[in-house]
Chains A and B, each alone.
Chain A
């Protein structure tokens, strides 16, 4: 399983765009990149998943360069409620061998 590296914490202000970068140098051909968000005492919540280039949904965008050794989660115009821990995960999809390996995550603090 590819190991991921993220910043431990990030600070931002309301209304700003936040970009959280994740490194995954040993990503395998079949691996997808998935991001989760977790609030205290709650289970992680799926945000976005991608394989290459760019993926966008109503919540975030995910940018993946051609070499796929890193990825960037982009949160547009964050609010106080976006304060949470964000996890980057790498793993195969529908492989039967896929498990979610969580790293330490990035604690994002959004201030007024």
Chain B
């Protein structure tokens, strides 16, 4: 059974650029959530999508956005990158909210 797949695994971007990260959930999982993990702030919730609709949103600026497609795959976009956006971005999927989430291995974003 395939797990949650996140691409790319590593990414280096320059300040001011934008980036798009991709997440393919486990087949049959309709809930996809995104998290940012940094050494200082730990794991922080970004947003959750369920059946192509954003159902929950964390406390992040509007530069962070996402979407979910009809096949449940999800993308998140960060515009006007800042140095502080350097982090491990994790995607998690579940059948529905609160079920045992399965996380991907993450995308390590470095902003220089």
The answer to whether A binds B is yes
Using CB atoms and an 8 Å cutoff, list the residues of chain A in contact with chain B: 32, 34, 41-46, 49, 87, 91-105
Distance of A34 Cα from B103 Cα, bound (Å): 14
Contact residue among A32, A46, A101, A103 (Cβ-Cβ distance under 8 Å from B101): A46
- Contact yes or no, A99 B42, CB < 8 A: no
* Residue tally, chain B, CB below 8 Å to A: 28
Contact residue among B33, B35, B42, B58 (Cβ-Cβ distance under 8 Å from A103): B42
Given contacts A44-B92, A45-B103, A99-B56, could you give 17 more A-B pairs where the C-beta distance is less than 8 Å?
A34-B100, A41-B88, A42-B103, A43-B4, A43-B90, A43-B91, A43-B105, A44-B90, A44-B101, A44-B103, A49-B100, A91-B98, A95-B97, A97-B55, A100-B43, A101-B45, A102-B43
How many A-B pairs have beta carbons closer than 8 Å: the answer is 71
B102: chain A residues within 8 A (beta carbon): 46
- Contact yes or no, B45 A99, CB < 8 A: yes
Report which residue of B45, B90, B101, B102 has the largest number of chain A beta carbons within 10 angstroms of its beta carbon: B101
Judged by DSSP, the binding face of B is strand
Judged by DSSP, the binding face of A is loop
For chain B, residues 79 to 104, give those with C-beta under 8 angstroms from any C-beta of chain A. Answer: 88, 90-92, 96-104
- Contact yes or no, A43 B100, CB < 8 A: no
- Contact yes or no, B42 A104, CB < 8 A: yes
**Chain B's nearest CB lies how many Å from the CB of A82?**
18
- Contact yes or no, A98 B98, CB < 8 A: yes
Distance of A90 Cα from B65 Cα, bound (Å): 26
- Contact yes or no, A46 B100, CB < 8 A: yes
- Contact yes or no, B98 A42, CB < 8 A: no
- Contact yes or no, B98 A95, CB < 8 A: yes
B103: chain A residues within 8 A (beta carbon): 42-45
Contact residue among A32, A103, A105 (Cβ-Cβ distance under 8 Å from B98): A32
A41: chain B residues within 8 A (beta carbon): 88, 105-106, 108
**18 sampled A-B residue pairs with Cβ under 8 A:** A32-B98, A41-B105, A41-B106, A41-B108, A43-B104, A44-B43, A44-B90, A44-B92, A87-B43, A93-B96, A93-B98, A95-B97, A97-B97, A100-B43, A100-B92, A100-B101, A101-B45, A102-B45
